[in-house]
Amino acid sequence: MNIAAPASPDLFARAGAPYHGGTFKTQLLKWVGSKQRQAPAIIKYFPAVFNTYLEPFLGSGGILGALSPRQAIAGDTFAPLVQIWQALATQPDTLKAWYAERHALIAAHGKEQAYADVLEQYNQSPNGADLVFLCRACYGGVVRFRKADGYMSTPCGPHDPIAPESFSKRVDAWVERTRGTQFIRADFRETMDRARRGDLVYCDPPYADSQAILYGAQDFSLATLFETVQKCKERGVFVALSIDGSKYSGAKLCNLPIPDGLFEHEYFIEIGRSMLKRFQMDGRTLEAHGVADRLLLTY
Cβ contacts of residue 31 below 8 Å, gap of 6+? 59, 60, 62, 135, 141, 143
- Binding test (CB under 6 A) with ligand SAM, winner from 62, 69, 80, 161: 62
Closest of 250, 291, 251, 285 to residue 269, by C-alpha: 291
Select 35 or 96, whichever has its Cβ closest to ligand SAM: 35
The CA distance from 122 to 5, in Å, is 44
Q: Does 85 bind ligand SAM (CB under 6 A)?
A: no
**Residue 57 binding ligand SAM, by CB under 6 A:** yes
CB 299 within 8 A of CB 238: yes
77 closest CA partner among 145, 15, 155: 145
- Helix (H) or strand (E) holding 167, with range, is helix 164-177
Q: Return the number of the residue (12 or 202) whose C-beta is nearest ligand SAM.
A: 202
Total Cβ atoms within 10 A of residue 70: 15
Residue 187 makes contact with ligand SAM by CB under 6 A? yes
Question: For residue 182, what are the β-bridge partners?
Answer: 73
Q: Measured from the CB of residue 112, what is the shortest distance to ligand SAM in angstroms?
A: 27
Smallest separation, CB 162 to ligand SAM (Å): 18
Burial of 149 (0-12, 13-18, 19+ CB in 10 A): exposed
Smaller CB separation from ligand SAM, 36 or 274: 36
What is the crossing angle of helices 164-177 and 79-90, to 10°?
A: 80
Residue 114 CB, shortest distance to ligand SAM, in Å, is: 25
Among 11-19, 83-91, 138-146, 215-223, the segment contacting ligand SAM (CB under 6 A): 215-223
Residue in 59, 126, 141, 161 binding ligand SAM, rule: CB under 6 A: 59
| 26 makes contact with ligand SAM (CB under 6 A) | no
Q: Any contact of residue 219 with ligand SAM (CB under 6 A)?
A: yes
Q: Radius of gyration over alpha carbons of the chain, in Å?
A: 19
Direct distance between the N- and C-terminal alpha carbons of the chain, in angstroms, rounded to an integer: 7
Residue from 21, 33, 126, 141 in contact with ligand SAM (CB under 6 A):
33
Q: Which is nearer to ligand SAM, 214 or 258 (CB)?
A: 214
Parallel, antiparallel, or unpaired: how do β-strands 292-297 and 265-270 relate? antiparallel
CB of 85 to ligand SAM, least distance (A): 11
Which listed residue (12, 24, 31, 98) binds ligand SAM by CB under 6 A?
A: 31
CB of 129 to ligand SAM, least distance (A): 18
Q: What residues numbered 110-169 form the site for ligand SAM, per CB under 6 A?
A: none
Do residues 276 and 244 make contact, with C-beta atoms less than 8 angstroms apart?
A: no
Question: Binding ligand SAM by CB under 6 A: which of 123, 182, 218, 230?
Answer: 218
**Residues β-bridged to residue 184:** 75
**Which residues between 193 and 212 bind ligand SAM (CB under 6 A)?**
204, 206
Binding site for ligand SAM (CB under 6 A): 31, 33-36, 56-57, 59-63, 76-78, 187-188, 204, 206, 215, 218-220
